Structure 1
Amino acid sequence: NEFRAERAVQALFRLVRTRARVRRGKRVLDVDSEEVVPGDLLLVESGTRVSADLRLVESHALRVDESLLTGESLPVDKECARVLPEKAPLAERLNMLFAGSMVASGRGFGLVVATGMRSEVGAIAGQLAAVPREPPPLLRRMERFARVIGVAAIGLSALLVGMGSLRGEPLGELLLGAIALAVSAVPEGLPVGLTVALAVAVSRMARRGVVVRQLPAVEALGSCGVIGTDKTGTLTRNELTVERVVAGGLSCEVTGLGYAAEGSLVGRGKPVLPAEHPRLFRLLRAAALANEGSLSRRIDDSEGWEWSGDPTDVALLALAMKGGLDPVELRDVHEPLAELPFEPERRYAATFHRDEAGGLTCVKGAPERVLEMCTAELDDAPESSGMRPLDREQALAQVDALMREGYRVLAVAEAEASEPLEPGAAPPEPSELVFLGLVAMTDPPREGVTEAVAACRRAGIRVVMITGDHATTASAIAVRIGLMAPGEAVVTGEEIAALDDAALGERVADCVVVARATPTDKLRVVRAWQQAGELVAVTGDGVNDAPALRQADLGVAMGRAGTDVAREAADLVVTDDDFSSLVAGVEEGRVAYDNVRKVTYLLISTGAGEVICVTAALAFGLPVPFTAVQLLWLNLVTNGIQDVALAFEAREPGVLDRPVRPTRERVFDRIMIERTLLGGAVFGVIGFAAWLGYMNEGRSVPEARNLMVQLFVLFEIFHIGNARSERISLFRLSPRRNPILLFGTLAAIGLHVGALYLPFTQKLLGVAPLRVDEWVTLAAMAATIVVVMETHKLWSNRREPAPAEATGIRAGGRG
């Protein structure tokens, strides 16, 4: 754990190890980022990775990608003149640049105020290195279990030796009996069986998009009661999409997701053709022309799309193409002459064009700013191109309504002129524009996320969105995916900072959205859940997520968009960044734990039977029914092969419909203890009765031991069917559901039969072939384990009915 923490910290600092341009005195120097010190003036431009925290002194159209630190997907507009409150959240410090962030566009310079461990990224590194890691839940359970088994084996062996000594029995025989008892009690095949069960789950998870970095983390995912998930890129696509267009009285829904120009405009349930609505057509045209992005089909893949530029521009190009417009053809018809790029102070972008009719100015930007420049709007009537005075209040009301739904809203306008702008002339500030309408966009939820959240709810898992984004945006997405009800309260980073740990625990006990969260906020929230007894899984992809990923019982990093820092801090990696894949991993984690229980039950119940049989024989003064070598053969070979094959058992129906296991639940819960004791009792009582009968018949000890070995081999073969499910009858479980178990059982039988006839193994194990009538008698005795355990399953299902889906299974399906 310490090694992984160190690697995560190293990956964190690799983000800021770059070259930097600094101004010292009258000289501009190109230095290594490690040589930057507080007091330097650091120069940044498009494509520069910022190497220190700095206060902006000058900026020009400066936009910075801070997603690694804040989780926000869109670049942030920076303003050197902005004055902020002293305790402004990191995501709202618009006059600051932070180490590790990337300049998306523009240029500027600022005064370095913090470097290294004193920077924001350094603070995250300090938190990351300081977070201790607890062993995974399965390891904690198995450590407790191993201690119990070890103490019980030693204690029982010592007790029998002491009792035998008091009776005056030979010490040599007592020691042999004690060794046999210890060998019976210790499940030698359990480490291999558990490892195989977890390895099988790792393979199954990988096929469903989850890569496991630590083997015990497989089961932990199935045990978690809370999943704290990032929003951007995990619950959402991380691709801006225009979903609504309002052109006066015409309101359209836009189908299709992401940056693929596949979809259409729909109004009142019917397709809307921009060619039939002049205002809508001109809105789409202006959105495509006031644009610096590009969007086209991939040449090598007709089904894929490639894009470049600002996400907002690409989303507007996709909108225009869905409406049937071709941006390339538009630029050919309307020749670009000049532009006013978007700047925070300006709050709009404008392009100036020349066409056959004269000049055309296209503007997009913040609604309040664009509306200030508008004096008129187009008539809504189809086939009409007449003007009417702008109803600014109505337009602002439409903006407000869309923003309350969590949309990012842009206004679009244009102006036509008889003469175009003179080539080379400085573009003027647009005025007397014609307002065309509003465009509402969002980062939409991924396909299947709503269903995945519902599946978590059925499984008793609480899903909580933890994001650096605004509360309005976060709550809008949460409502869409069914995570929260409209109007439900959102916890913000500002609230968290004002609460002590006790109050925070109460505040986040039932919350579903945490917005504007800093790395420290995420860490404190995760700790609050853990202190409340929850097993917590946390997803993340950025530097800001690393401390919480490491603190969580299970850290889950994103494979595509995730940083090396997040992956080093995590236990699992979701390869497609999709929350639905994580839910599939939860299912596989539960299946893994089921198979761990099955493997454990098979070995422990068999071992318990051997212990009862050996203990009873010693208590009655009889010879030990098995030699140590025979017990090892039973535990490691005949039972061990089947035990490993049992780890490949397919999932049972209704795995995700079960409640979450309590964090302190032991591997042996009530039903497992009942089944183990009952199975062990059948093994032990019938086995001892047979041994007592053989001794009373006057059989020799080697001959009787040979019969006992064959009896217990048959017990194990019958019992493997009982172990395949706690609730479902073995007669309803087709062998085709687990062909590896079928072939493993046949292999175990083949090995044992071979051992009966090979001279070397006959001598080593003390075994010999039996007559047919002896096999029939032993098989009838061993079959009692099936009758008893089937009766127990029937009684258990009546006592505690399982969900209907959990007790039904297809005869030949793989589950």
Structure 2
Amino acid sequence: MWFSKSQEEALNELNVNPATGLTTTEAKARLEKYGANKLKGKPKKSLISLFFEQLQDMLIYVLLGAAVITVAIGEYVDAVIILLVVVLNAVIGVVQEYKAEKAIEALQAMTTPRSLVRRDGEVKEINSEEIVLGDIIVLDAGRFVPADLRLIESANLQIEESALTGESVPSEKNADDLHEDPKTPIGDKSNMAFMSTLATYGRGEGAVIATAMDTEIGKIATILDEDIEEMTPLQKRLDELGKTLGFIAIGICVLIFIIALFQKRDLFEMFLTAISLAVAAIPEGLPAIVAIVLALGVTRMSKINAIVKKLPAVETLGSVSIICSDKTGTLTQNKMTVVKFYTFDNLKDVQAEAMGQTAEQDEKELMKSFVLCSDATYENGQSTGDPTEVALVVLGDKYNLARRTLHSEYKRVGERPFDSDRKLMSTLNKEENAYRVHTKGAIDNILTISKNALVNGQVIPLTEEMKANYLKIAEEMSDNALRVLGAAFKDTVSIIDPEAMEKDLTVIGIVGMIDPPRLEVKDSIVEAKSAGITPIMITGDHKNTAVAIAKELGIAASIQQSITGAEIDELSDEEFSRRIKDYRVFARVSPEHKVKIVQAFQSHGNIVSMTGDGVNDAPSLKKADIGVAMGITGTDVSKGASDMILTDDNFSTIVHAIEEGRNIYNNIKKSVIFLLSCNLGEVVAIFISVLFFWPVPLLATQLLWINLITDTLPAIALGVDPGDKDVMKKKPRDPKESFFANGAGVRAILGGTLIGALTLAAFYFGLREYGYSFGSKTIPEEVLTYARTMAFVVLAGSQLFYSLAMRNPTKSILQVGLFSNMYLIGAIVVGFILQLVVISVPFLASAFKVQMLSAGDWGLVILFSLIPLALKEIAKLFMSEREN
């Protein structure tokens, strides 16, 4: 019962020193002994179960029924081919699902929560799964508790434990509490923190006393697995499309069978033809192909530092018209550097890299307060914590006021953490014979709660004239795009309540720091604008600072395009929504304002992407169409609420992700239109021949073969087509736009009809070569076999070649690059080789009822196969001329 043990007893039992934490060697040994810190999920599906899942489809049942009938009447070859097609189709489905599962597993590994842990005397950020018994965990607002902890230190710490207790109000924690009653409820264990709960306020430290399934939540957990199998909106639309086409195809097949009855054809042959036509006509591979394209797409996006957590986000990315981005770290380098500091009537520049600089007494007091009122660390070029605080610690280093020295000499005994309402942080530190409050934050807020000022080492009353002087210097710094922070102190003889810390302070001075824009962001903003996307800056900084950076980056042209949170509050929701188009910069905003900004943009039909990193950003991230969390500075809460995580916290990554999202959607569209064209071609060829009482140009087994090879391989290759270089020169896609908009449906019908007509033409030429025609009453079997071989090759060849034309609806294959998608070239080559193998290998030729063609007929079928591609390319030329 850890909650009944003192901190010393718990630490002794865990054999850990809280000042240094575990050593790397000891942590590794404990990880091997106790295992990874993660809850057990539901068991993975085996390959066998995945295989049988692929067979659970109505059309597969129909095919298996057909195989049984063919065996019953002695047509063993046809039965074997049907079964081979079923097995191959299932194998392809298993491979696709396995790849998708692996891709998603990789993404989940990337999004594993990270925790601050003290090891080897240093605070490090590691994956929560690597945490072991005895680790010293550092908690602050916005972090999930990674394991069960016995708290050893707490400062105003509050933890939201609804996952365990059902209580929505956060529980207050105190590391010094002890609970003797062994039946103490979880919600009353104020000296403990539990896995999967959330620190909402203050800070603390705790020693790990249980991990994984030994934790409180592990004891009650039965499943910890996100539902990654939910279909995306696009997949749902395609699934509905497939069902609709299926009903149409089955209707056509029933009609074919009825017509065949009246025409007194061979019913068994027509039965197989009708069944195979149903399978060929229905794009049952669409959901699988879409799943694999999306999974491969998000894997590719992870390589450009954008981790997509939810597949529907990929579709939404292509429609983004507004990017609301935080300034610090996203548009800028997130390397804050103090360049100026000011104590009363004394403004100085800080030399960029020089260490060991000298400072006067007031300046030393200013830096001392900043360093002590900071949770960041900086040693040997390595830092942890908020970039602003890191800059202050680095400033102290430059003036021989090292953080480690100051924090060991002036121990912290209390604090009042920063929050976005007060815009202040205060700590209480032990002095030689007393205590001192150190406060840092917005200078205007500090001046409001100060009554004295430090001038030349003396504490004197703070006058209105002096206040105006501080504010004037602060404004000048802001006009130069510097971020301004003030510092103040107050001496006290005893430990005081946190609420009393920020009263009657003595202001020391201010510093001005800059976070320079990222070098690549300016080009990304130009690219975003050319793509019809409006970049918006949202920041907590002053208006002048924000506008200066926005102008430099090309986001805003003048200060009239900016508005502050206070000015937003003065407007009604309707007025703000009406005027939202006038603004490009939102300064001094709170998280609540972010939600209003998103809603205002959305009210005009925009698809909005919003970045965030804090606990309070979760509502705006959820409200946005695409919530983007910062991977480096973001809290676990913001990452949990987001659709996408930037591992480099870079604005350019958002633009690249949108480009990738547009290309992924376009690739899926290419695959779908291609499949529908191919399927329609098969339907046209069979239906017309049956309708006019012509010989059937293709047998059931031939249709099944073509459906498996010439449809699937190029469709997958089109799904991984390299991105269109001009995709960011077009406006965002309307999310309500039909999948067959902009002539895509017409192109599918024309392409399919042409392929079907050419298949019939090849069949006709094959018959005519032997002196027969469609109207001939008795045609020898060998003549039919030869003519069907020609139709078989043309149908397959025209589909394979046509896939090249499907790469871009307006650009020719030469403009796109004939060999820029080697997967597609490979699919076409493999398709033709397999066609040749089927025709030339005797036992296969016999099974599929085909034969080798003459050299002249090979030329004819290749010519016919090229016609759809050629006509499509000619049509593109006319389209480009018309546009020019």
Compute the TM-score of the two structures, normalised by the length of structure 2. 0.60
Query: Secondary structure of 2:200's partner?
Result: coil
Aligned residues: 656
**Pair 1:766–1:46, CA change in 2 (3 A):** farther
Q: Tell me the residue number matched to 1:739.
A: 822
Q: Tell me the residue number matched to 1:402.
A: 477
Shift of 1:226: 3.0
1:306 aligns with 2:389: no
- Please give the per-residue CA displacement for 1:544-567, whole angstroms capped at 9, x wherever unaligned: 333444454433333333344443
Q: Is the 8 A contact 2:764 2:787 kept in 1?
A: no
Q: Tell me the residue number matched to 2:749.
A: 677
Structure 1: how far apart are the matches of 2:403 and 2:577? Answer: 58
2:532 to 451, 460, 476: 460
Structure 2: how far apart are the matches of 1:147 and 1:493? Answer: 54
Letter in 2 for 1:772: A
Matches within 5 A, 1:206-605: 206-231=302-327, 233-236=329-332, 240-245=336-341, 263=352, 288=367, 291-292=371-372, 304-306=381-383, 314-319=390-395, 325-327=399-401, 366=443, 373=453, 396-403=471-478, 407-410=482-485, 439-441=511-513, 445-465=517-537, 478-479=550-551, 481-484=553-556, 485-490=558-563, 492=565, 495=568, 499=572, 505-506=577-578, 508=580, 511-513=583-585, 522=594, 526=598, 530=602, 532-605=604-677
Structure 2: how far apart are the matches of 1:456 and 1:31? Answer: 40
**Pair 1:569–1:200, CA change in 2 (3 A):** same
Letter in 2 for 1:717: L
Q: Is the 8 A contact 2:321 2:606 kept in 1?
A: yes
Letter in 2 for 1:101: Y
Of 399-408 and 762-771, the range deviating more from structure 2: 399-408
Matches within 5 A, 1:2-401: 100-103=200-203, 136-139=232-235, 141-143=237-239, 145-157=241-253, 178-231=274-327, 233-236=329-332, 240-245=336-341, 263=352, 288=367, 291-292=371-372, 304-306=381-383, 314-319=390-395, 325-327=399-401, 366=443, 373=453, 396-401=471-476
Query: Secondary structure of 1:223's partner?
Result: coil
Give the RMSD, CA atoms, in angstroms: 5.6
Q: Tell me the residue number matched to 1:122.
A: none
Q: Is the 8 A contact 1:549 1:570 kept in 2?
A: yes
Shift of 1:17: 9.1
Structure 1: how far apart are the matches of 2:270 and 2:166? Answer: 76
Please list every run of 5 or more consecutive structure 2 residues that lacks an aligned counterpart in the other structure.
Answer: 1-41, 43-103, 105-111, 114-141, 154-158, 178-185, 188-196, 206-228, 433-437, 458-464, 490-505, 773-778
Q: Is the 8 A contact 1:638 1:713 kept in 2?
A: yes
Q: Tell me the residue number matched to 1:92.
A: none
Query: Secondary structure of 1:626's partner?
Result: coil
- Please give the per-residue CA displacement for 1:205-227, whole angstroms capped at 9, x wherever unaligned: 11111223333433332332233
**Pair 1:288–1:248, CA change in 2 (3 A):** closer
Structure 2: how far apart are the matches of 1:567 and 1:457? Answer: 27
Shift of 1:320: 6.4
Structure 1: how far apart are the matches of 2:168 and 2:804? Answer: 70
Q: Tell me the residue number matched to 2:120.
A: none
Q: Is the 8 A contact 2:678 2:752 kept in 1?
A: yes
Query: Secondary structure of 1:727's partner?
Result: coil
Query: Secondary structure of 2:717's partner?
Result: helix
Shift of 1:486: 1.6
Letter in 1 for 2:757: V
Letter in 2 for 1:784: I
Q: Is the 8 A contact 1:598 1:723 kept in 2?
A: yes
1:725 to 786, 804, 808: 808
Shift of 1:709: 0.8
- Which structure has more relative contact order (CA 8 Å, sep 6+)? It is 1
**Pair 1:21–1:624, CA change in 2 (3 A):** same
Query: Secondary structure of 1:373's partner?
Result: strand
2:845 to 751, 762, 765: 762
Structure 2: how far apart are the matches of 1:722 and 1:448? Answer: 35
Q: Tell me the residue number matched to 1:783.
A: 866
**Pair 1:712–1:41, CA change in 2 (3 A):** closer
Q: Tell me the residue number matched to 2:700.
A: 628
Query: Secondary structure of 2:383's partner?
Result: strand
**Pair 1:569–1:796, CA change in 2 (3 A):** same
Q: Is the 8 A contact 2:765 2:787 kept in 1?
A: no
Please list every run of 5 or more consecutive structure 1 residues that lacks an aligned counterpart in the other structure.
Answer: 23-29, 54-68, 70-97, 106-132, 256-262, 266-272, 355-361, 378-389, 415-433, 802-815
Q: Is the 8 A contact 2:144 2:636 kept in 1?
A: no
Shift of 1:663: 1.2
Letter in 2 for 1:541: D
Q: Is the 8 A contact 2:294 2:314 kept in 1?
A: yes
**Pair 1:611–1:399, CA change in 2 (3 A):** same
1:615 aligns with 2:687: yes
**Pair 1:741–1:490, CA change in 2 (3 A):** same
- Please give the per-residue CA displacement for 1:255-289, whole angstroms capped at 9, x wherever unaligned: 9xxxxxxx459xxxxxxx998xx9x8888766555
Structure 2: how far apart are the matches of 1:745 and 1:788? Answer: 19
Q: Tell me the residue number matched to 1:120.
A: none
Q: Tell me the residue number matched to 1:709.
A: 792
**Pair 1:403–1:352, CA change in 2 (3 A):** farther
Shift of 1:661: 0.6
Q: Is the 8 A contact 1:284 1:319 kept in 2?
A: no
Structure 1: how far apart are the matches of 2:633 and 2:389? Answer: 21
Structure 1: how far apart are the matches of 2:334 and 2:876? Answer: 49
Structure 2: how far apart are the matches of 1:151 and 1:31? Answer: 52
Q: Is the 8 A contact 1:136 1:553 kept in 2?
A: no
**Pair 1:337–1:547, CA change in 2 (3 A):** closer
Q: Tell me the residue number matched to 2:678.
A: 606
Structure 2: how far apart are the matches of 1:474 and 1:526? Answer: 19
Q: Tell me the residue number matched to 2:715.
A: 643
Structure 2: how far apart are the matches of 1:286 and 1:398? Answer: 19
**Pair 1:762–1:285, CA change in 2 (3 A):** same
Query: Secondary structure of 1:661's partner?
Result: coil
**Pair 1:763–1:646, CA change in 2 (3 A):** same
**Pair 1:44–1:720, CA change in 2 (3 A):** same
Letter in 1 for 2:690: L
Letter in 1 for 2:563: V
Query: Secondary structure of 1:651's partner?
Result: coil
Structure 1: how far apart are the matches of 2:353 and 2:450? Answer: 26
- Please give the per-residue CA displacement for 1:518-563, whole angstroms capped at 9, x wherever unaligned: 6666556555655654434333333333344445443333333334
Shift of 1:410: 4.8
Shift of 1:669: 2.4
**Pair 1:161–1:589, CA change in 2 (3 A):** same
2:854 to 771, 777, 781: 771
**Pair 1:282–1:364, CA change in 2 (3 A):** farther
Letter in 2 for 1:672: A
Structure 1: how far apart are the matches of 2:275 and 2:161? Answer: 67
**Pair 1:343–1:728, CA change in 2 (3 A):** closer
- Please give the per-residue CA displacement for 1:283-305, whole angstroms capped at 9, x wherever unaligned: 87665555436999755xxxx43
**Pair 1:199–1:769, CA change in 2 (3 A):** farther
Structure 1: how far apart are the matches of 2:625 and 2:254? Answer: 39
Shift of 1:791: 0.6
Letter in 2 for 1:451: D
